[in-house]
Amino acid sequence: MWLEHPDFIVIVRRIWSSPVVGSPPQVAIYTLRNLKKALKSWNWEVFGDLNSTIARKSAELHSIQLDLSNRGFSDDPFMAEASVHSELDVLLRKQECFYRDRSRVRWLRNGDRNTSFFHASIKRRQYRNTISALSINGVLSEDRPTIRDHIISYYFGLFSSDVSRVGRDLSIVDDVIPSLVTAAENAFLTSVPSADDINDAVFAMDAVSALRTDGFSGSFYQRCCDVVGSDVVLVVHWSYFPNNFLFKISSKILADRLAWVAARIISPQQFGFIPDRHIEDCIALAFDCVNVIQKKCYGGNLAMKIDIRKVFDTLDWSFLCRVLQAFGFSSVFVDWIDGILRSSRLSVLFNGVLEGYLCCSRGVRQDDPLSPLLFGIAEDFLSIFLTRLVGSSQILPISSPRGFSAPTHLLYADDVLIFCRGTQKNLKHIMGTFRDYGDISGQLVN
């Protein structure tokens, strides 16, 4: 709604041109803070209470139309009706835009006025997201503070590293993971992004879903690129900028670069989040394996579907960084990733109110373009480990017809498919593999 108003960009230019002393991130923080205050004041002056204004204009229009119907048509009332009708139409478009943004409905195309639908969507989402009662240790509680404290405690435990895993020997990672990343790829990953790279990253990201705690979404940076673009480049060049859209620009650039490297080094048995690898191929391979599962052989053929519990939330950071080092990523890049992970902060949205402020110590960020790639690289330890066990005949693959080389395992995010002979020896090795993997990575079988 604001972005469409002609005065919006004028206010942004005025605030952004005000002198602020400090490093680029400090300048950006102070300027955004001042801009937020100015926009709030401007919003009240220009838009005010839209619903009340619309009600007044509707009443005024109704009064003019009654006057026209009683007195008959004349030039002055007719011109007044047209003027008020035009003003009301502008207000209704603003109201629709406001409720559309709040409703987060994206599949509906622009066309007829859908304000009532958007308003109903907001109310339905608020009702659906409201927690009025919760079963805590088998006891139903309706006390809001008790429910709030229990939820905060749950997420604090979920995103806190397991104390029993601290100090674990991770040397097995170096034994399993080969060094595959080249010096040229490391130089590419850690090179300073150009202004064009940063601009492309801004416009490639979802403008709405990127909203962060500073209140400025990607649509703001896309609309005001001519005004704020040079400062955005300075901030990205200077440092990471956690917890807002500027941080996501850096993360997006790193993710785009890492995707090229990940596609080359990650095992072909992984299909999730890797460029040019599709779930359809994974399904087709799994279907072929299931079709030959009935082939007679010693021990019989076996297929296992294994699900990892809270896969993105429980990934151990030390394990992830060790895997990155073992693959050959430079210390600079690994330090960047470690810094991004440790900048994570978490608040719980409880009935529309942010509660708690938690420092995470494991897991990867939601809605971060880097997270799927980092998870895929970490999970590749499991894939390579299983492949090595097959190569050393500790796990025997399924018996398949000549000409079909059946995979021993397929991975897609938190889902793992295992295909092997159903012997006791195979099962013991597979159970031991997942137990060892869970001990060092935090990825436990559900």
- Share the mean pLDDT of the chain: 82
Return the minimum-mean-pLDDT range out of 55-64, 73-82, 106-115, 176-185: 106-115
Return the minimum-mean-pLDDT range out of 57-61, 198-202, 238-242, 429-433: 238-242
Q: DSSP secondary-structure letter at 164?
A: G
pLDDT (mean) for 20-44 = 85
The pLDDT tens digits of the residues spanning 74-117 come to: 667 778 888 888 888 877 777 776 666 655 544 444 444 455 55
Whether 357 has a pLDDT exceeding 60, the answer reads yes
Whether 258 has a pLDDT exceeding 50, the answer reads yes
Strands 139-141, 134-136: parallel, antiparallel or unpaired by DSSP?
A: antiparallel
Separate counts of helices (H) and strands (E) for the chain: 17, 7
pLDDT (mean) for 385-411 = 86
Identify any residues that bridge with 350 across adjacent strands, giving them in sequence order: 353
CA–CA gap between residue 78 and residue 68 (Å, rounded)? 8
Q: What pLDDT score was predicted for residue 107?
A: 45
The pLDDT tens digits of the residues spanning 197-236 come to: 888 888 887 766 545 556 677 788 888 888 888 888 888 8
The more confidently predicted of residues 205 and 336 is 336
Whether 391 has a pLDDT exceeding 50, the answer reads yes
Q: Where are the alpha helices (DSSP H) in 72-224?
A: 75-103, 115-128, 144-158, 171-176, 183-190, 195-204, 218-223
pLDDT (mean) for 347-366 = 82
Q: What pLDDT score was predicted for residue 329?
A: 96
Return the minimum-mean-pLDDT range out of 43-52, 111-120, 387-396, 431-440: 111-120
Whether 256 has a pLDDT exceeding 80, the answer reads yes
Contact 323, 364 (CB under 8 A): no
Whether 121 has a pLDDT exceeding 70, the answer reads no
Contact 50, 91 (CB under 8 A): yes
Q: What pLDDT score was predicted for residue 251?
A: 85
User: Please, what is the Cα angle at 240 between 239 and 245, to 5 degrees?
Assistant: 130
CA–CA gap between residue 411 and residue 407 (Å, rounded)? 11
pLDDT (mean) for 254-276 = 90
Token reading at 247:
């941080």
pLDDT (mean) for 168-176 = 88
